[in-house]
Structure 1
């Protein structure tokens, strides 16, 4: 095998590889001899098929397999021998001339191809001891816990039948059939449906028209589906619901006690308060983590400036911009609605993509030097979490990750990033600062430097 570097510009490398026809022939002969004892061809005894006949029958397909093996193995081995690391999967360039390909497959011509890739940049890690960050901490007040407990307890509130007209807060039990242009539509029919008036869980205007209704009443409720309604066939359409009110019930006085907690599946009111506090603290803890991480990454960003692999930056930019466009589409907005232009947005998100790639490389290098590892158990847990997001498709999703190393790498990357951040937080100066809930939850003006 002959290897020659033809391009070395910045991080870009192009390597020309030539596999002599004699080497291809040697590999083919090895394959033929291995297959000779196993070949089963009509008219020949097992193990007695002449090599010439075997070559005539299988030579071309075997050479194609040899070529594919060379293309799969050579880029990795060549780059490793050069003590380099490719930023992304190398690109292979071969001749598209059919005649030349036939000569190679026939063992009559050398096999030539080029390997194009960008190296991961080399840079020196800097001391992190001087980095200081403030960890914003919110002290959860008892009132907030109690308010949340009351909201949760509403789910366990009991209702008592009433013969009076329905009021806000009352629970009505309904049968209904929804129609558009006089025709019933899918999903618009229900029986014994409970609805708490004022909860705003139904289409706007539906609940208001049931105020004053009594058990046994039949009403025609006219509504208009919102323009952004999830079902496109109903969005913006006028509809009529033929409603039968089967019962009206008034909420009983809500008393916070152990019985309410038990109806919620928790052994006592005190335990309910503890669970609620833990949930609130967990929510604030996530926000605190993001604030601390942002400060840390901002500090690192100031310390590093080096050439980046263009393809890696482009791939990151494409991911970011596709997400931005999808979010705008889902919200029915344009760049102009966000007081910008697509061109300006592209410039801004390209800067973000470069920052993400640069910081990703820095964190990766730090993690490698620190010996940060992701265990098999952690990867399995991440995979199972991903699979559970697609109920009914678990097997297909699991097989997808089994067959796609790049997809598995996409699960590993955020886990590794968080573990490196955890390690860094033990090496820098972190001080706690008590803040209000509003200060903690205030969104940063710029998006987080790395995807979490």
Structure 2
């Protein structure tokens, strides 16, 4: 096999490989002799089929298998021999001329093909001990816990049948048929729907018109869908609903005490408050983690500047751009609505793609040098979590991950990244700073405009 480098420009490489016809013939002869003892053909005793006859019948198909094996095995071995690391799977180019291809399969010609790929860049890791991180911490107040417990009590509230007209806070059970220009529209009909008046669940103005209604009463409710309503064919349209009130119920008194907690399956109100506090703290903890991680990545981004594999950047940009396009379509918006242009957005998101690729390579190198690994048990937990998201489709999801290495990598990569971040946080200087909930969330909103993590 002859291997010749034909291009070495920056990170780009092009390698020409020539497998002589004599080498192909030797491999074919081996295959034919292996098949000789296995093939059973009419008119020949087992193991007595002439090799020449086998070649005539199966030569081209066996040679095609040999060529495919070469294409599968050779690229990685050549790149490894060159002590390089390909950024993405190498591209393979070979003749598209049918006559030339037939000569290869017939053993009359050398097999030539070309590998094109980009190498991962070489760079020196920088000292991270001088990085300083400020970790925002929110202390959960008793008032915030009590407020959340009150919400839980409200959601667990029971209702009792009442005589008389419905008031704000009452629950009504209704049948309704929505119409636009006298015609019923899709999604505008329901039976035995429960609605708490004042909850804001229905179209603005709908619930207010049910105040004073009694069980058994029929009403016509006139409303207009908001201009920004999610269903585009209904947005801004005037509609009327024929409503039949089936029942009216008043909220029962709900005391926030141990008995309420027991109805929720807990032993006491104190236990409920403990769980609520942990949940709130966990939510703040996730926001804090994002702030800390962002500071760390910003610090790393300032330290590194090296050439990036163009195809990696392009692949990352495509992922980002497709997501942006989906969000614009789902929200029925344009770039102009976001105070930008498509050209400027492309420029900004390409810079984001470059940042993500650069930081991804840096974190990968740091993790490799530090011996960071994702354990099999961690992968199993992450896979199980993915399966839980699709009830009834668990086996299909499991099969997809088992058969698709790229899908498995999509689970492993974020786990690996978080473990590398944890490793780095153990090396840098981290100082805690107590902030208010409003300060923490205000930072979130400001930074959400540019999602710039690796």
TM-score by length of 2: 0.94
Deviation at 1:332, TM superposition (A): 1.2
Contact 1:294 1:448 in 2 (8 A): no
Contact 1:166 1:213 in 2 (8 A): yes
1:21-32 to structure 2, matched below 5 A, reads 21-32=21-32
Deviation at 1:90, TM superposition (A): 0.6
Q: Matches of 1:121 and 1:196 in 2, distance apart?
A: 61
Structure 1 equivalent of residue 453 of structure 2 = 450
2:389 counterpart of 1:415: no
Deviation at 1:181, TM superposition (A): 5.9
Q: Matches of 1:50 and 1:238 in 2, distance apart?
A: 85
User: Higher mean Cα deviation, 319-328 or 45-54?
Assistant: 45-54
**Cα 1:181/1:400, change in 2 over 3 Å:** farther
Q: Matches of 1:29 and 1:225 in 2, distance apart?
A: 77
Name stretches of at least 5 consecutive residues in structure 2 with no aligned partner. Answer: none
1:72-151 to structure 2, matched below 5 A, reads 72-151=72-151
- The Cα offsets for residues 302-346 of structure 1, whole Å up to 9 and x where unpaired, read as 111111111111111111111111111111111111111111111
**Cα 1:184/1:57, change in 2 over 3 Å:** farther
**Cα 1:186/1:347, change in 2 over 3 Å:** closer
Structure 2 equivalent of residue 357 of structure 1 = 357
Q: Matches of 1:74 and 1:48 in 2, distance apart?
A: 34
Structure 1 equivalent of residue 64 of structure 2 = 64
**Cα 1:214/1:301, change in 2 over 3 Å:** same
RMSD over equivalenced CA pairs, Å: 1.9
Number of aligned residues: 451
Structure 1 equivalent of residue 10 of structure 2 = 10
**Cα 1:238/1:41, change in 2 over 3 Å:** farther
Q: Matches of 2:275 and 2:202 in 1, distance apart?
A: 30
Deviation at 1:397, TM superposition (A): 2.3
Contact 1:360 1:450 in 2 (8 A): no
Q: Matches of 1:56 and 1:168 in 2, distance apart?
A: 89
Deviation at 1:266, TM superposition (A): 2.6
Q: Matches of 1:154 and 1:91 in 2, distance apart?
A: 61
SS in 2 for 1:356: helix
SS in 1 for 2:201: coil
Q: Matches of 2:440 and 2:227 in 1, distance apart?
A: 35
Structure 1 equivalent of residue 334 of structure 2 = 334
- The Cα offsets for residues 277-322 of structure 1, whole Å up to 9 and x where unpaired, read as 1111000000000000011111111111111111111111111111
Structure 2 equivalent of residue 377 of structure 1 = 377
Structure 2 equivalent of residue 343 of structure 1 = 343
**Cα 1:231/1:390, change in 2 over 3 Å:** farther
Deviation at 1:30, TM superposition (A): 1.2
TM-score by length of 1: 0.95
User: Higher mean Cα deviation, 53-62 or 125-134?
Assistant: 53-62
User: Higher mean Cα deviation, 320-329 or 390-399?
Assistant: 390-399
Name stretches of at least 5 consecutive residues in structure 1 with no aligned partner. Answer: none
Structure 2 equivalent of residue 279 of structure 1 = 279
Deviation at 1:259, TM superposition (A): 1.9
**Cα 1:182/1:54, change in 2 over 3 Å:** farther
Contact 1:13 1:117 in 2 (8 A): yes
Q: Matches of 2:55 and 2:228 in 1, distance apart?
A: 65
Deviation at 1:401, TM superposition (A): 1.7
Deviation at 1:40, TM superposition (A): 2.3
**Cα 1:61/1:234, change in 2 over 3 Å:** farther
Deviation at 1:177, TM superposition (A): 3.8
User: Higher mean Cα deviation, 260-269 or 72-81?
Assistant: 260-269
2:310 counterpart of 1:310: yes
- The Cα offsets for residues 170-216 of structure 1, whole Å up to 9 and x where unpaired, read as 11112334455656566544433221011122233322221110111
Structure 1 equivalent of residue 211 of structure 2 = 211
SS in 2 for 1:114: strand
**Cα 1:177/1:307, change in 2 over 3 Å:** same
SS in 2 for 1:329: helix
Deviation at 1:265, TM superposition (A): 2.9
Q: Matches of 1:226 and 1:33 in 2, distance apart?
A: 77
- The Cα offsets for residues 213-253 of structure 1, whole Å up to 9 and x where unpaired, read as 01111123344455665556656655543322121112233
2:293 counterpart of 1:293: yes
Structure 2 equivalent of residue 174 of structure 1 = 174
**Cα 1:141/1:335, change in 2 over 3 Å:** same
